[in-house]
Amino acid sequence: MIQKKNNWVKIFRGIHIYGGLLSMVYLLVVGVSALNFQHNFLPEQPVDTISYTQTIEFDPTLKIDSLAKIIRNELGIKGHLPPWEFRENNQGMVRFAIFRPARIYEVKLNRNSSRIHIDEIHFSLGRILRALHFGSIKNQLGDILLNIWSWYGQISAMSALLAIVSGIYLWFKYAVKSRRQWITVIASGVGSIIFILYIWLIG
């Protein structure tokens, strides 16, 4: 019986250690970016802009969303096309943007011309961490490295959860001994549950 208990302790300890090591980089990036959301200690503004033009043949009758996809593919850029960036006027001037984690490509064109103007805007570290923070949920850019980061984020989140559960088990087994410690644990747990219920019921 004692041997079986020791085996469980070894399993939980291994899960805790290796789960934490696996998710360490992901948690560090997400933690720093989350703190930056609140305190803005890392710059997010553009650091450089490169402007250039290209000649691309396209069907001028296309709707702006289809046109933007064709131009993006012709430029060879894998990025997101946010619809709120679509602009068009009666003179045939079209503007849209292609978003990547560290860059934004602002594209301007006239439906009556094949000349495309691109402003390639490079951003600093804060903006990159912000993109990695949300990009770990789901990547829709079709980029292999970003796909790897997205999967790593999912695996790290599950590993971190297992590390937390195993850590709680080990903590209760080895650290919580006195009545004062049990009171502290119960009070913090009940307080957290009450707070969650308050948010859930009150909004």
pLDDT in tens, 162-177: 888 888 888 888 877 8
The half-sphere exposure of 72 on its side-chain side, counting CA atoms within 13 A, is 23
Asked if 43 contacts 126 with a C-beta cutoff of 8 angstroms, the reply is yes
DSSP state, residue 85: G
- What CATH code would you report for 46-123? 3.30.310
pLDDT in tens, 12-63: 888 888 888 888 898 898 889 889 888 888 888 899 999 999 999 999 999 9
Contact between 9 and 173 under an 8 Å Cβ cutoff? The reply is yes
Cβ atoms of residues 102 and 123 within 8 Å:
yes
pLDDT at 50: 96
**What is the Cα–Cα distance from 80 to 142, expressed in whole angstroms?**
10
pLDDT of residue 184: 86
* pLDDT, mean of residues 105-126: 94
* pLDDT score of 2: 57
Task: Assign 137 a pLDDT band (cuts: 50, 70, 90).
Answer: low
Q: Map out the domains of the chain as residue ranges.
A: 2-41+146-177, 46-123
